[in-house]
């Protein structure tokens, strides 16, 4: 079974959508991992979703 992790960080975008997509395609559960966690669970692949630094509070650029 494929093991996947999605890294979640402040300002990340579509991390939950990515989780659902991977689960639908692979049929395997996906771990959501907070960016500050000390370790990432054993995974066959790790996804870093897109997003905005600082939650886009400072505007683009």
H-run or E-run covering 30:
strand 30-34
| In a domain? residue 26 | yes
Q: Is residue 10 part of a domain?
A: yes
Q: What does DSSP assign to residue 53? A: G
Whether 61 is in a domain gets the answer: no
Q: What is the pLDDT of residues 25-60, one digit of tens each?
A: 999 999 999 999 999 999 999 999 887 766 556 555
Is residue 40 in a domain? yes
| Domain extent for 30 | 4-56
- 52 in a domain, yes or no? yes
- Rounded to two decimals, what is the model's pTM? 0.79
Provide the pLDDT for residue 56. Answer: 58
Give the count of domains, the chain.
Answer: 1
In a domain, 47, yes or no: yes
Is residue 24 one of the residues assigned to a domain? yes
């Amino acid at each position: 079974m494929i093991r996947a992790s999605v890294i979640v960080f402040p300002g990340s975008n579509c991390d939950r959508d990515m989780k659902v997509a991977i689960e639908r395609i692979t049929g395997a559960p996906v771990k959501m991992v907070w960016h500050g966690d000390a370790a990432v669970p054993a995974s066959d692949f790790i996804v870093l979703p897109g997003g905005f630094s600082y939650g886009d509070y400072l505007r683009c650029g």
